[in-house]
Amino acid sequence: MTSWICKDEMDMFVLLGDHGTPIKKRIELSFKNHKKILEALEQGKNLNEILCDGSGPYFSILRLLSDIVSLKKAHQIAIEYCDRSQNYFYHFLKKTAYSVFVFLFSYAMIYFFSKTIYPQMSAYANDLRFILFCLQRVMDLLMISLILFYGFLAYLFCFPSQMKIDRCFLSFSFMKKLMSIQLATILKPLFEISLSTKECFSIIKHIQQQKRLHWCVQKILKKLNQGYDLKEAMNHCDEDLLVFIELGMESMKMEQMLSLYQKRTHKQMEATLKKIVRSVQMLSYACVGALVFVAYQILLSPLNVLYTI
């Protein structure tokens, strides 16, 4: 049944529910495979079980929360969780696509000049050999760094978590914030229905597919069971999250404090991504400048020889 339903179809199903549309009509209007869903209902299967029977982060969160809160609320939280998990990466890709293209063009053109144009001009521009060699090595280093950086981001946002790899990066501030904002996204609706802190973490622990979050919650529960207080149990999370949770416990307004934490952290992560985007842009334009300089020197080298005659 995994391929029967997608996120967008669920979105339409929930929206139609806001207008009081009958269940059967909602299913027919929302889902491409509505006949299979209706057949499953006639066989006595639970609607929530049918709609939550999918794979990926969205369905794992939907499945967890649909038995605790309304399907609409579970859908909203699952969408928000996926946005926190993947939208940063796709937003970053869009912002840096042009700059990366400029860098790749510069990289290709420098190799084109060094392999095709320069050998023909080497008699006139022998003094550029060392400069060209150094520039190629620098460009190679930048290319490798760029591939590793984008590979890391792709792993972080788009591929299943591997804890052996994650442990190497969990001390990074960005990783802590990403994991903490995902945790806050799921904690908020659980606190809204007045569950205890331990009950909230016990529920989240059942999200097996989200290994990074699962590992984080398991570690918290283990420390809570050993008698640590909440702040000590969550010391591997973002420090700001601990501050907002402490404020929430003091004011008895945990949901509002978690919302404020999400907004604040979202702005911080956006600011970090903007700095990285600017750095990639500056790198690309510097490479264009180097390309123009080398091309100019190589192509004008015969004229320089003529002027010296």
Structure confidence at residue 52 (pLDDT)? 83
Q: What is the pTM of this model?
A: 0.73
Cβ-contact 214, 208 below 8 angstroms: yes
Q: How far apart are CA 222 and CA 63, in angstroms?
A: 24
Alpha-carbon Rg for the chain in angstroms: 27
What is the distance between the alpha carbons of residues 207 and 186, in angstroms, rounded to a whole number? 11
- Token pair 């500056």 is at which residue? 282
The predicted pLDDT at position 2 comes to 46
Sign of CA dihedral 174, 177, 183, 185: negative
pLDDT means over runs of 10, the chain (309 residues): 71 86 88 86 85 80 83 85 73 85 88 78 68 84 90 78 72 81 85 81 77 83 87 86 88 87 87 87 87 76 56
State the pLDDT at residue 302: 60
State how far the Cα of 252 lies from the Cα of 124, in Å rounded to an integer. Answer: 78
Token digits of residue 1: 């049944």
Instruction: List Cα–Cα distances, 113 to 108, 110, 131, 142, 276, in angstroms.
Output: 9, 5, 13, 18, 30
Consecutive H or E run containing 78: helix 71-82
**Residue ranges per structural domain of the chain:** 7-77, 83-309
Q: How far is Cα 76 from Cα 58, in angstroms, rounded to an integer?
A: 10
What per-residue confidence (pLDDT) applies to 260?
92
- Nearest by Cα to 189 from 259, 125, 126, 142: 259
Q: Which residues make Cβ contacts (< 8 Å) with residue 89, sequence separation at least 6?
A: 153, 154, 156, 157, 158
C-alpha–C-alpha distance, residues 280 and 285, integer Å: 9
